[in-house]
A and B are shown apart, each in its own frame.
Chain A
Amino acid sequence: MCQVEEEYHEQLERVDRLSLSQKCMKCKEEPAVVVVRAGDAYCRSCFRESFIHKFRAMLGKTRVIFPGEKVLLAVSGGPSSCSMLRQVQEGVGHNAHKKLRFLPGIVHIDEGGALGQSIEMRRKKTSDLQQMFRSTGFPFYIVPLEQVLDLPGSVLVAPSARSDRPDSAYKAAVDLFLQSGGGSDPAGPRQENGQESLLDVHESRTRLLEQLMDSVQTQTAKLDLLNTLRQHLLVHTARKHSYSKLMLGDSCTRLAVRLLTSISLGRGAQLAQDTGFSDCRYGDVVAVRPMREYSAKEIAFYNHLFKVPTVAVPNLETKTSDKSSIQRLTESFVTKLQTDFPSTVSTIYRTGEKLQTACRFSSAAEDSDRCLLCLSSLEPGAEEASALQATLLSERLSQTRGPLSSVPVEPEPAAVGRCCSSGPCGGADCNAGCSSSPTGPQVAGMRSLLCYSCQRTVRDMSSVHHLPPYVLSEAHRRQKRSAMKEQISQFLLDGAEEHD
């Protein structure tokens, strides 16, 4: 924030129309074909080169992915993830200049069930994808979103990360990898040939999933919930097949949208994890975002010019208007900005970068300190001055006006939440204490397990009972645990922590 003097000023003017036969700014010979940022026009081959370089430089610079490590690529079929797949494909290929030395696999989550698509249509999409994945030679897994209904509760419990590996460990791993000849193994990525796929989905499962999605009333919350469920399933799939990294194809444009959306949804505390290069909240599976320096435009151009196949998969946002959800509205805002003031998007994105925190996964942090749904750490204590408290306060204040009208006040979750965390009943016998609220005891207790933003999402649901069993049972477990803790707390000295 203290860097307002940075170099953005001069670029803030609208783009001048570029002349017709502009030369590439890099080689200064070939005619330019793409304008990446204001004024940066590249020719075809320089564009390709810089695109590829950026990917490898990103992985090299961050040193998060170790040689020989199993990395699961989440491919939706959209432009960004397909482009990422191409980069990996070329990177591990035989004649790659700077070879990528990890073992890739592919996962695709078929979300057709949440979108009300027919099974025929889903089969067609997945068989297109299957064809594309098979041609890479990597192991792949096509997982229907319905499987989220059968996840184990352990998905929500982050096992502690492998002990933080220092920088020297990276070098050691490289040496070891080279010694073992891993670098020259042509069939490197061919491990077990996981080809888990074609949709064997029971209609009843699809119906349950539909019920879950239908129980969410706003599009904003729907998108948020879908995002959460997808993430859980991705992490679970990675664990199941012992991948320790999950590669996500979020582009810089997408992340800028997410960053602004996160702020408006009250996810400020999670910003760094939501948009940074690596995301350690899942402990043993670390998510990385190597596409985060590419704009959606660069990706679209690259895919078109170099024939990267994509599979058009309609999603919840297809054909919706700008105002259908906060996510969509933010996207339209960001793309408008991008058009009129091209440097602003990268400014947003760089802001996100500054928020990047060190990957500190404290295994000491108890599950109960993490949000049940998004696994981000809950705001420490009830800090008087935190944004969350401020929001809750204003919510409360705006509510007190409510009773003036004759309409009976809807059971406000904020009130319930307050009661559970800091109210007189202290959360313990809250199940009994607040059960007068028509939302039911479980809902009430659940709020205290969620971060502010996930609370909002859950509040938009007509009933939490539609949530998948693993979420409900884990919620129950945590509730029981905190009740027990409460009971024994008076016998403990100094309110000592974690003795249970």
Chain B
Amino acid sequence: MSACVWAACVCGTQICYCSLSAEILLLFSGINENVYEHVSMWFTGNMKQLLVWIQRNLLKERPELFVQGDTVRPGILVLINDADWELMGELDYQLEDQDNIVFISTLHGG
């Protein structure tokens, strides 16, 4: 659990999870890990809206290290159910029940 936080988002009556990789967590909470919160809220929408939500609710410091413009910063990979989001419509993808969203930073030092 230390390396992976689950931010539970509830889409309407459905639940989806996004797991955030360790690298990105370093952005979220600084050098000291294990300070992650479990977040849950009602959420309906597509990836674009999810990014906005993450930016508002999870990124307390330096959001520009994660989001740029209305999409993720170059160098951050997005996986939707273990598949490249480039194959899934990227920002327009509508979140569904039990979706597993993973963000992985490929930047040196996260």
Contact = CB atoms under 8 A, between A and B. Distances in A.
Interface of A: 15, 17-18, 20, 22, 31-35, 41, 78-79, 117, 121, 253-254, 257, 296-297, 299-301, 304-305, 310, 312, 314-321, 327, 331-332, 335-336, 338-340
Closest 10 CB pairs of A and B: A317-B109, A335-B75, A296-B106, A312-B22, A318-B109, A339-B74, A33-B83, A335-B74, A336-B74, A315-B109
Interface in B59-110: 62, 64-65, 74-75, 77, 79, 82-84, 86-90, 102, 104, 106-110
Interface string B20-46: 011101110011110000000000000
B69 to A, nearest CB: 11
A213 B84 CA distance: 40
Contacts of A318: 26, 31, 109-110
Contacts of A31: 83
A56 to B, nearest CB: 24
Interface residues of B, number: 33
Contacts, number: 101
B52 interface: no
A312 B26 contact: yes
A15 B83 CA distance: 17
Contacts of B22: 310, 312
A133 to B, nearest CB: 17
A33 B82 contact: yes
A254 B22 CA distance: 20
Contacts of B65: 319, 321
B84 A317 contact: no
B74 A18 contact: no
Given A34-B87, A339-B75, 7 more contacts: A17-B89, A20-B88, A34-B84, A41-B84, A300-B77, A319-B26, A331-B107
A305 B83 CA distance: 9
28 contacts: A22-B87, A32-B84, A32-B87, A33-B84, A41-B87, A117-B31, A121-B31, A297-B77, A304-B21, A304-B79, A304-B102, A304-B104, A305-B82, A310-B22, A312-B22, A312-B33, A315-B108, A315-B109, A317-B107, A317-B108, A318-B26, A318-B109, A318-B110, A319-B30, A319-B62, A320-B109, A321-B64, A321-B65
Given A34-B84, A336-B74, A319 B102 contact: no
Nearest to B62: A319
B26 A79 contact: no
Contacts of A33: 82-84, 87
Residue from the set B82, B102, B107 with the largest chain A CB neighbour count within 10 Å: B107
A317 B86 CA distance: 27
A300 B90 contact: no
A301 B77 contact: yes
A319 B27 contact: yes
Contacts of B108: 78, 254, 257, 315, 317, 327, 331
Given A301-B77, A319-B62, A335 B31 contact: no
A335 B106 contact: yes
A435 to B, nearest CB: 41
A332 B62 CA distance: 15
Nearest to A19: B87
Nearest to B71: A339
Nearest to A253: B106
Contacts of A331: 75, 107-108
Residue from the set B83, B86, B88, B108 with the largest chain A CB neighbour count within 10 Å: B108
B3 to A, nearest CB: 7
B110 A314 contact: yes
Nearest to A338: B74
Contacts of B32: 121
A22 B85 CA distance: 12
A243 B86 CA distance: 43
Contact of A300 (B30, B62, B89, B106): B106
A315 B109 CA distance: 5
A336 B102 CA distance: 20
A20 B89 contact: yes
Contacts of A340: 74
A296 B84 contact: no
B84 A319 contact: no
Given A22-B87, A34-B83, A314-B31, A319 B110 contact: yes
Contacts of B75: 296, 331-332, 335, 338-339
Contacts of A339: 74-75
Contacts of B109: 314-320
A187 B107 CA distance: 37
A159 to B, nearest CB: 32
A41 B84 CA distance: 9
A439 B88 CA distance: 60
A37 to B, nearest CB: 11
Contact of A20 (B27, B64, B87, B110): B87
B33 to A, nearest CB: 8
A17 B90 contact: yes
A315 B64 CA distance: 19
A316 B110 CA distance: 10
A331 B102 CA distance: 22
A100 B108 CA distance: 29
Nearest to B79: A304
A219 B59 CA distance: 25
B66 to A, nearest CB: 11
A305 B84 CA distance: 11
Contacts of B77: 297, 300-301
